[in-house]
């Protein structure tokens, strides 16, 4: 299966909205000092300024499998140590104080193995994952994948929906001997334009769809987006101000290993 291609420019179009959950997650991290901090799945590095402000003396390490995202980080902060690696298999060289896994674990399978493994590498593990896979946006993506000329190409595509129920995470963390703080938040994003939700999804959720169809600019991808866009416009109508309200629920937890 073709690998999704991350576009730092497209992803950054909703940069403030995507960053706010990460800032809310960081605010609940109980550490006052840290020597080594890892941003696992750092993307284009939007969280590094906040990490630098919170832990000014720490070594910051960014891990991501996307070379294009890491290239963007290098243009913004030369002091961060960057590692091109898959978050599912990356291992810290030595024990670290904090691992932040913001909006990355939902792309990875086998959380029952992954979470205990990450906890063994750090004092604190801070996680945020989307929790909106039952929302109209994602339901319509799945329905559109099944109905059209693209259905055969998309039959094995997953949408980054590897998230477990909150109770399952609580059980995993308890078995690992961690103490934890867990919560949910729904963000009501105000997006501009009739196709705003489609544009949001193009930056993340639709990446594996477009990859399976040969790229976002290919005719079959454009046809898929047109069909999906019509459905999304009906589900998320534009209000009188020209904006679309897009509710987005997210699940958070911060776990301490003692």
Per-residue pLDDT of the chain (258 residues; tens, 9 = 90+): 455 665 555 555 555 788 999 999 999 999 999 999 999 999 989 999 999 999 999 999 999 998 888 988 888 778 899 999 999 999 999 999 999 999 999 999 999 999 999 999 999 999 999 999 999 999 999 999 999 999 999 999 988 788 999 999 999 999 999 999 999 999 999 999 889 999 999 988 999 999 999 999 999 999 999 999 999 999 999 999 989 999 999 999 999 997
- CA-based angle 58:59:64, to the nearest 5? 130
Structure tokens, 144? 């559109």
CA–CA distance from 112 to each of 66, 115, 116 (Å)?
25, 6, 7
Phi, psi of 156 (to 5 degrees): -110, 10
- Sequential DSSP letters for 115-132: HHHHHTTEEEEEEEEE--
State how far the Cα of 165 lies from the Cα of 187, in Å rounded to an integer.
19
pLDDT at 68: 87
State how far the Cα of 93 lies from the Cα of 91, in Å rounded to an integer.
6
Structure tokens, 79? 């002091």
State how far the Cα of 256 lies from the Cα of 97, in Å rounded to an integer.
10
CB neighbour class for 140 (10 Å; exposed up to 12, middle 13-18, buried from 19): buried
């Amino acid at each position: 299966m073709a690998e999704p291609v991350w576009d730092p420019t497209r992803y950054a179009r909703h940069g403030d909205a995507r960053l706010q959950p990460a800032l809310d997650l960081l605010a609940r991290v109980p550490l006052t000092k840290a020597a080594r901090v890892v941003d696992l799945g750092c993307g284009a590095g939007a969280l590094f300024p906040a990490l630098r402000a919170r832990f000014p003396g720490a070594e910051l390490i960014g891990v991501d499998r996307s070379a294009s995202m890491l290239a963007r980080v290098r243009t913004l902060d030369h002091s961060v140590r960057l590692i091109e690696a898959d978050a599912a298999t990356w291992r810290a060289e030595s024990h670290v104080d904090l691992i932040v896994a913001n909006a990355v674990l939902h792309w990875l399978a086998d959380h029952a193995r992954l979470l205990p493994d990450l906890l063994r590498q750090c004092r604190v593990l801070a996680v945020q994952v989307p929790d909106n896979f039952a929302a109209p946006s994602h339901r319509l993506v799945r329905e559109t994948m099944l109905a059209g000329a693209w259905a055969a190409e998309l039959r094995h595509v997953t949408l980054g929906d590897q998230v477990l129920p909150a109770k399952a995470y609580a059980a995993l963390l308890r078995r690992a001997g961690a103490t934890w703080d867990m919560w949910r938040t729904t963000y009501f994003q105000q997006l501009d334009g009739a196709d705003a939700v489609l544009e949001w999804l193009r930056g993340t959720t639709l990446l594996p769809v477009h990859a399976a169809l040969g790229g976002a600019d290919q005719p079959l991808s454009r046809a898929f987006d047109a069909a999906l866009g019509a459905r999304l416009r009906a589900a998320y109508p534009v209000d009188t101000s020209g904006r679309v309200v897009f509710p987005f629920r997210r699940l958070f937890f911060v776990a301490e290993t003692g």
